[in-house]
Each structure stands twice: as C-alpha cells, then as structure tokens.
C-alpha cells in the first residue's frame, strides 16, 4: 500500500508539471473543458485549485443559498452552523475536517422584548442561524431569535483562536437575512439586507445598534450600506484597501469610499449583453470577474455571461458564455454559483450545464504584472499545493505573499 500511494503522488506531480508547461506555452485566452466529476476528483488539483474552497457540497436550492447570482461573501467556503444550546455554537468545515465551538454572550435589548412572551413555552426552538460572511479566519454569524422579534443578533467570530470578537444588532422593519462583506485586512464590515430575497419596500432604513467589540478588535468598523445602493452589487478589492469598495450597476463599475460613499473611480460602459448581477475580486486584486444574467429572477437564463476585467484600467479582458441547460431537479454547488480564481490567479474556472452532463471550463488569464516575483508566485502555486506552501523553507513574509494575504502584499 505504501508503494501504491507513493506512485500516485508521483504521477500527480508529473501531471502538474506537464499542465503548467502546457499553460506557459499556450496562447492567450486558452481554455479547457472537463466533466465536473473528473474535475472535482482529479483535475482541479492538477490545474492548481488546491486551496480550501468547497466545490463538491450541494447547496440548499430551496433556500436563499440556491440563488445562482448570490454574492460570494464566503471565499468559496462551506461553513455549517448549529446551535447546541442557548449560548453554545458549533461550526463545521468539511474541507478542513474542523469543528469549532463558541460560547455566545447574551446581547441585551432593554425595552424591546416582552418578558412574558420571551419566557413562554411557544418561544422554544424557533431560532435559526447561518454564517453570512467569511474572510481569512473571520466569520459573521446571524441568529434570528424567534418568529416575531424583528431584530436579529450578529456575532463576529475568530475561527483561528475560537473567540467571539464582538456582537451587534440590526433594527429593520421586517425580518430578513443579511449580507456581510468583510474587508481584505478585516478592518471593515458592511451590512445590508439580502438584495435577492428581501421585499423592496419603503422605508428602507436599517440601523446598527448595541455594538460591542473586544479590546483587541477595537479597530474594526461596522457600517450599513446606504439604501441608495440597494440595487448595486458589492465587492472588496485587495489593492483598493479597507476604506474603498467596488460597486457595479447596469454595465458600469465604480470605486466608492466607505463613509461618504463618494465615487473615486469610474469605468465606462462595458460592452456586455446584460446588466451586472455579480462581482468578485481575485485574491491579489488584479482581476475583477462579473456575471451578467437575464432575466434575473429565473434560473433558466437566456443570457449568462462571465466576464473578466482588469482592475488597473477597468479593461474588459475576456468573456465566457456559460448559458446552458437548466436542470430543475439538480442540486446547486458553489462552482455553479461563483466563478472561481485559482490561487495563482493564472486561470479561472466556471461551470456550464449541458444536456446530460456538467462541464467545467478553465480559462487562462492574461499576465498583468511583468515582474519576477509575480511570475514566481504563479509557478509555485501551480507546482506546489496551496495547503503545503507553509511547509516550504521560505521566510514567513514571503509565504504570506504567496498565500495572498492582503496585509503582506504591499510590504514584500
């Protein structure tokens, strides 16, 4: 058994070398198509998709997770939250085979709760919880306390140290799930109601109250997205930093400052067949990927285009047509919802449904930086698994740069 295992690893390494050699010699916009089952079992590792993103677990299609243009606020992770008791939370992440437990502090809401109804018997086991945001070991948990109370609780969790960094409450006129965007350096949190499942009605004002943060998390700022941007899609970018956010509406992209929400940069109108309904940045921030679908509230899209845009000059680099057959009874997985960059940012993977099978399209991205450090990073992440980069005999600062940690990018 030992010899068989070693031969399998040797063959996999050879395939990685051959794939990377072919990738270097391939022309611009070179692409490959592989069936989803083969790609998930083998070819995703050969093509360099070796991080902790979950491409296999099925999402719940009947709930809000099954919407195909939902924003990627999880970095591709799949976190399952369970409330074991009134103050005990369990988080499970399958890709890391990791189980974490947290003790949740109580959030006081003076004068807003009916004590007689709160302690009555019919207010038992009606709480629901979900992770609404994740980035670099930080997660945000939303708990809907009961059927009638409209103020959900939010907890900021540190998954690495298994600590609760803080908590807050959002006051809104109806009960909704929320979206949470975490900035690259984890200094900003943006909160707004889920723009795909909530009812758009006026007044649309929501307030963040009862903010409590631990002393070592005092730099964290929690902001609400203004109602004027409720039709915009949002994403943070590593090069823009923590105080700016990318917004897209119709066929234009804007860079806005958080606080006054003024436009700092603005692109022209891109030549796209439909309006932008999803936006996402690459780990280093060099690329922006957008999805254009029409009609929006339908899973059988007549238009479904994924486009890659350069962040430096807002130039349209490539377009991929992923319109395919709609399977009404099929499960929904992360790769079907989110286009995903490889850790090296040399390729991007998207999924397309055909009549009898699913195809994963891997497209080569053009090189936007012509320096030795950037090219070496691409080579290392293709030839070495992302999970094994920390084992390389390299300085810690260089390892952080290879892993794409934003607070180390500017200092290398």
The answer to whether residue 150 scores a pLDDT higher than 90 is no
170 or 60, greater pLDDT: 170
Q: Work out the pLDDT band at 8, boundaries 50, 70, 90.
A: very low
285 CB-near residues (< 8 Å, 6+ apart): 184, 237, 238, 239, 240, 311, 406
Query: Bigger pLDDT: 237 or 145?
Result: 237
Per mean pLDDT, which range of 39-43, 192-196, 236-240 is the poorest? 192-196
Q: Which domain holds residue 171?
A: 56-229
Q: What is the CA radius of gyration of the chain?
A: 22
- For residue 305, the cross-strand partners are 292, 321
Instruction: Give the predicted TM-score (pTM) of the model.
Output: 0.88
Q: 197 near 178, Cβ under 8 Å?
A: no
Say if residue 64 is in the same domain as residue 124. yes
16, part of any domain = no
Does the structure show a pLDDT above 70 at 301? yes
386 and 296 housed in the same domain = no
Within-domain flag for 399 = yes
Q: Say what the alpha-carbon torsion angle 320, 311, 280, 267 is, to the nearest 10 degrees.
A: -80
3-class DSSP state of 121:
helix
> 203, 229, 255 — which closes off a domain?
229
Q: Is residue 10 part of a domain?
A: no
Average pLDDT over residues 101-125: 60
Reported as a pLDDT band with limits 50, 70 and 90, residue 275 is very high
Domain boundary among 178, 209, 229: 229
Do residues 296 and 172 both lie within one domain? Answer: no
Average pLDDT over residues 20-31: 88
* pLDDT for residue 232: 92
Model confidence at 250: pLDDT above 70: yes
Q: Provide the pLDDT for residue 149.
A: 64
Domain count, the chain: 3
269 vs 253: CA distance, rounded Å: 8
Q: What is the pLDDT of residues 59-83, one digit of tens each?
A: 654 455 556 778 888 888 888 888 8
Shared-domain flag, residues 218 and 258: no
How many residues are given for the chain? Answer: 412
Percent of the chain residues topping a pLDDT of 70: 82
pLDDT exceeds 70 at position 1? no
Mean pLDDT of the chain: 82
């Amino acid at each position: 058994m030992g010899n068989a295992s070693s031969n399998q690893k040797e063959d996999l390494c050879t395939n990685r070398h051959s794939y990377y050699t072919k990738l270097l010699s391939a022309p611009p916009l070179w692409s490959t198509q592989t069936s989803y089952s083969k790609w998930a079992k083998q070819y995703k590792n050969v093509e360099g998709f070796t991080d902790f993103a979950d491409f296999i677990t099925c999402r719940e299609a009947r709930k809000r997770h099954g919407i195909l243009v939902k924003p990627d606020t999880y970095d591709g992770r799949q976190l399952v939250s369970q409330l074991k008791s009134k103050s005990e939370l369990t988080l499970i992440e399958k890709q890391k085979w990791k189980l974490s437990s947290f003790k949740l502090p109580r959030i006081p809401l003076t004068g807003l709760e009916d004590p007689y109804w709160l302690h009555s018997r019919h207010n038992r086991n009606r709480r629901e919880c979900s992770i609404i945001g994740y980035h670099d070991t930080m997660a945000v948990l939303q708990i809907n306390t009961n059927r009638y109370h409209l103020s959900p609780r939010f907890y900021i969790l540190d998954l690495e140290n298994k600590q609760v960094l803080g908590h807050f409450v959002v006051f809104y006129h109806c009960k909704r799930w929320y979206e949470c965007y975490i900035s690259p350096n984890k200094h900003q949190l943006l909160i707004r109601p889920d723009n795909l499942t909530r009812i758009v009605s006026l007044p649309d004002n929501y307030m963040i109250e009862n903010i409590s943060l631990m002393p070592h998390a005092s730099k964290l700022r929690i902001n609400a997205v203004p109602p004027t941007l409720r039709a915009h899609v949002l994403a943070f970018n590593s090069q823009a930093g923590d105080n700016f956010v990318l917004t897209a509406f119709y066929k234009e992209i804007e860079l806005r400052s958080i606080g006054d929400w003024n436009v700092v940069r603005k692109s022209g109108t891109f030549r796209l067949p439909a309006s932008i309904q999803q936006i996402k940045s690459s780990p280093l921030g060099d690329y922006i990927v957008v999805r254009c679908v029409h009609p929006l509230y339908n899973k059988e899209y007549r238009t479904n285009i994924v486009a890659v845009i350069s962040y430096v000059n807002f130039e349209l680099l490539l377009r991929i047509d992923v319109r395919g057959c709609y399977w009404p009874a099929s499960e929904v997985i992360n790769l079907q919802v989110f286009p995903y960059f490889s850790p090296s940012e040399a390729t991007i993977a998207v999924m397309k449904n055909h009549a009898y099978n699913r195809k994963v399209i891997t497209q080569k991205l053009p090189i936007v930086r012509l320096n030795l450090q950037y090219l070496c990073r691409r080579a290392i992440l293709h030839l070495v698994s992302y999970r094994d980069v920390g084992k390389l005999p390299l300085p810690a600062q260089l390892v952080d740069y290879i892993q794409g940690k934003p607070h180390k990018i500017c200092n290398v």
